[in-house]
Structure 1
């Protein structure tokens, strides 16, 4: 047992993560009632479209309604029929699973496709739904019910996610504590074990951070360029999920500045940034012209909101501050763990413990050979933290423009889970120094205690809520 605590960081955290995460994603896949992840029915419908070769949604004008459009594709209506049998569980009313409703949902079989509007998921790239689509195909091939096919897709997404997170920890070079806690938070695992696009997005972000952490002029040129190509592809994938994530590409410039005396490395990093930037802009333009349709709360108006921000940026900053004042607890809880339809919370002490563990990981990870925490924070973490903050502000800005009603005092639509891919990038500012001796053992015990508490409390919370 003692020898296990002496393993290199990347091996120790990879093995520990797989041991704790694997049973939890299996639990979420099968014990979380069907369609109890935000918009899971629509995400599953989008995966179904891929099985019919419809990788990109179709935008059509509504007959006899000039200026109105529908966007979507072929969808089996049974998906929404089965999901309808679980609507009673939503809304935080603590209603338990009813056996008769479950039987009705389980009886719904695959029927065949028809054109449906799926505008709330149409903007996501097909790469996010490759694994759920495979589960959907297998479910149809083996004549499984729609609910069982969904659970199979969840399981496959969860296993794929754990595999990518495990690979990321083997590749990662620093920031292991932050990375481990973020990867094992209930919100992260609940989304990974679902048909949501977040499953792939979270795993892609983790793997991207791990690969970027290895970048250095000392790495052989061929290996470095291959690594950069993979990070660019992953960064484009992340940014296509939510355009504000494009700000994370600034980490290429951060690395270019850190190694500014290495001309070739600087050029490679700047070129990587340019490719990600252009690809994301092109994808956003494609979505805007060929996919996007008006979609938001009543009273939302893209043009009006954008004009308000441009005319009165300080007023918008006030709206942002008011949003945090009113909803900081929701952002925090839905970042750490507010599972189901954002209605299944964990005990307050668990949130406190998670924050404490994250702060400990952050503090320890930013200690360096050059000095204490504050000097290290200034020298290493200032730029990464600023990039992360810019990405977070971008999330609020986009949802203010696209989702919130004009004149509303706060920004609607923001959830803490949107911050998870961004938070992984904090690991890139950490010190390369690893703890040794008793301090390493004590630190690892603390991190593992978080994993143990999460593994114990998660089944209790979910089972107590739904069963």
Structure 2
């Protein structure tokens, strides 16, 4: 303990980055090995997208009859999903012997068409580590489960490397970023075949780089932010962040914001034309018609959604901290409270960008974050919720993890936090990782 106190001196970003890498490597390897295949949220669809990219299909297509989007992928993904289907949404069911046998004996090689419209529209960049894992598994003639395990591990290593770089470069913002990236939900996404883990890491690194003085950092930050917003178009309001970088001239800032916006609109237009499910436009049009008929219903829906969150104990907030698996693997309520307190403490003692002469910058950044949150809810209502429904359905806490690093542009510059605060922040992941691994073991049994 005294040694840790000695390390946590001013300019502790590098030390926090090292601690994060240690915590995250242990946690993600354990989660990747213990959690059964395709049991992270939408991991089956993400795995299908990664496997299609591994075979050179960068933009998926509609199926032969013009229906939903997908690609030709390994049949083993469907067989694994069927083998472990009894676990989904049934938190008291454990992995049994037939499931274990299926996980290790289903071969790769046989290829069939699979529909996965919810992930077919995502850009390929965040699936590259998992795609390499699938190719490596095929080269080694590994089973389908071992190919998924390779994809999980490579995704975790890439996510941890990017996130560690973000913390190391974050300066006085590093305590909050460290705490955010050590949350069970973040670590769980790092350890899954999914775009979310690497997207969160790239969001953190991109936003940190934007705030730095040198032009190369600003350019790389804009590129990373573009990739993140392409993967989740409701993040488009973050395109204003390059405009808030006071160290760059207006031409560079405008070019950065325009680059982000152009990337989002270009990719969205391309994938909508190729992969948008045929029933989606009709559903969205009917939802918009219902809103036009009763405009006041927008306020009614917003209030019902907020009221339900409060009545149910902030489920989106708990998911933000960590509800693993298919949102059926919860953590102790006391842990959610402690994690929330530590996260707020880290935010309170973390410093944002260096001050400039424009006092509107924090307000504009906060407005961008709030607008992005609103667009997430709006998109879920238009595309996912029942037509004319009383509330927004389908919103998950993980959708907001990649937005949180933008608080770098909102928080004021602060002095270095006391060592006692840094010690709490640096030590809390010990509890977080322990609680997370225990929850996975209890939920599934040792796999």
Q: Distance in 2 between matches of 1:316 and 1:322?
A: 10
2:234 corresponds, among 230, 234, 244, to 244
1:388 corresponds in structure 2 to: 369
Contact 1:92–1:344 under 8 Å retained in 2: no
What CA deviation, in whole Å up to 9, does each residue of 1:19-75 have, x standing for no partner? Answer: 21110011111111111111211211111111221111022451xxxxx52322111
What CA deviation, in whole Å up to 9, does each residue of 1:178-228 have, x standing for no partner? Answer: 2111100000010111111112211111111211121xxxx3xxx41x222
TM superposition shift of 1:287: 1.7
Contact 1:184–1:451 under 8 Å retained in 2: yes
2:268 corresponds in structure 1 to: 284
1:405 corresponds, among 386, 389, 393, to 386
Structure 1 151/354 Cα, relative in aligned 2: closer, same or farther at 3 Å? Answer: same
Contact 2:350–2:411 under 8 Å retained in 1: yes
Q: Distance in 2 between matches of 1:335 and 1:400?
A: 20
Q: Give the gaps of 5 or more residues in structure 1.
A: 63-67, 371-377
Structure 1 313/242 Cα, relative in aligned 2: closer, same or farther at 3 Å? Answer: farther
1:10 corresponds in structure 2 to: 13
2:328 corresponds in structure 1 to: 343
Mapping 1:447-466, distance limit 5 Å: 447-466=425-444
Q: Distance in 1 between matches of 2:235 and 2:138?
A: 35
Q: Distance in 2 between matches of 1:429 and 1:409?
A: 33
Structure 1 347/295 Cα, relative in aligned 2: closer, same or farther at 3 Å? Answer: farther
TM superposition shift of 1:17: 0.8
Q: Distance in 2 between matches of 1:367 and 1:140?
A: 46
2:297 corresponds in structure 1 to: 315
Structure 1 91/411 Cα, relative in aligned 2: closer, same or farther at 3 Å? Answer: same
TM superposition shift of 1:290: 1.5
Q: Distance in 1 between matches of 2:297 and 2:205?
A: 38
TM superposition shift of 1:300: 7.6
Q: Distance in 1 between matches of 2:131 and 2:147?
A: 10
Mapping 1:107-256, distance limit 5 Å: 107-214=105-212, 219=213, 223-224=214-215, 226-255=216-245
TM superposition shift of 1:398: 0.9
TM superposition shift of 1:118: 2.1
Q: Secondary structure at the match of 2:118?
A: coil
2:343 corresponds in structure 1 to: 358
What CA deviation, in whole Å up to 9, does each residue of 1:347-367 have, x standing for no partner? Answer: 001100011111112222269
Q: Distance in 2 between matches of 1:128 and 1:52?
A: 15
Q: Distance in 2 between matches of 1:123 and 1:431?
A: 37
TM superposition shift of 1:9: 2.2
Contact 2:68–2:278 under 8 Å retained in 1: no
TM superposition shift of 1:93: 3.4
Contact 1:295–1:402 under 8 Å retained in 2: no
Q: Name the TM-score, length of structure 1 as normaliser.
A: 0.88
Higher mean C-alpha deviation, range 300-309 or range 389-398: 300-309
2:253 corresponds in structure 1 to: 269
Q: Distance in 1 between matches of 2:303 and 2:404?
A: 20
TM superposition shift of 1:464: 1.3
Q: Distance in 1 between matches of 2:258 and 2:176?
A: 28
2:407 corresponds in structure 1 to: 426
Q: Distance in 2 between matches of 1:357 and 1:417?
A: 18
Q: Give the gaps of 5 or more residues in structure 2.
A: none
Q: Distance in 1 between matches of 2:113 and 2:418?
A: 57
TM superposition shift of 1:85: 0.8
TM superposition shift of 1:316: 1.4
1:54 corresponds in structure 2 to: 57
1:416 counterpart = 2:397: yes
Q: Distance in 1 between matches of 2:252 and 2:296?
A: 37
Q: Distance in 2 between matches of 1:275 and 1:291?
A: 24
Aligned residues: CA RMSD: 2.2
2:419 corresponds, among 428, 441, 446, to 441
1:21 corresponds, among 18, 24, 33, to 24
Q: Secondary structure at the match of 1:175?
A: helix
TM superposition shift of 1:115: 2.5
Q: How many residues in Structure 1 have an aligned counterpart in Structure 2?
A: 436
Q: Distance in 2 between matches of 1:37 and 1:294?
A: 27
2:48 corresponds in structure 1 to: 45
What CA deviation, in whole Å up to 9, does each residue of 1:253-296 have, x standing for no partner? Answer: 233xxx3xx7x612211111011112211111112212211467
